[in-house]
Amino acid sequence: MSRTRAPSMPTEHQVTEAHKAVTALHPDARIKSVGPEGVVFGYPDQSTPNSEWHGKSFSAETE
């Protein structure tokens, strides 16, 4: 039997691309954490409306 593949960390390129995409939509967004689950962003200005991505990880890998 094959082994279950271990979760991998996003590459530096994936993190950079995710950051560019998110800051294009919300310039104040900051990277909160990076892990196997993806990149999590924080939004310091809470007066902006929440989007469907608020609080969710961004990952380039599909499930």
| Res 53 pLDDT > 90 | no
In a 10 Å sphere around its CB, with 0-12 CB exposed, 13-18 middle and 19+ buried, how is residue 41 labelled?
A: buried
Q: Which of 27, 63, 58, 59 is nearest to 41 (CA)?
A: 58
Of 25, 49, 53, 24, nearest to 39 by C-alpha is 53
- For residues 32 and 48, the model is more confident at 32
Stretch 14-24: mean pLDDT = 93
**Confidence check: pLDDT of 22 > 90:** yes
- The pTM is what? 0.60
Residues with Cβ within 8 Å of residue 23, at least 6 apart in sequence:
29
Of the pLDDT bands very low, low, confident and very high (cuts 50, 70, 90), residue 18 is very high
Mean pLDDT of 16-37: 91
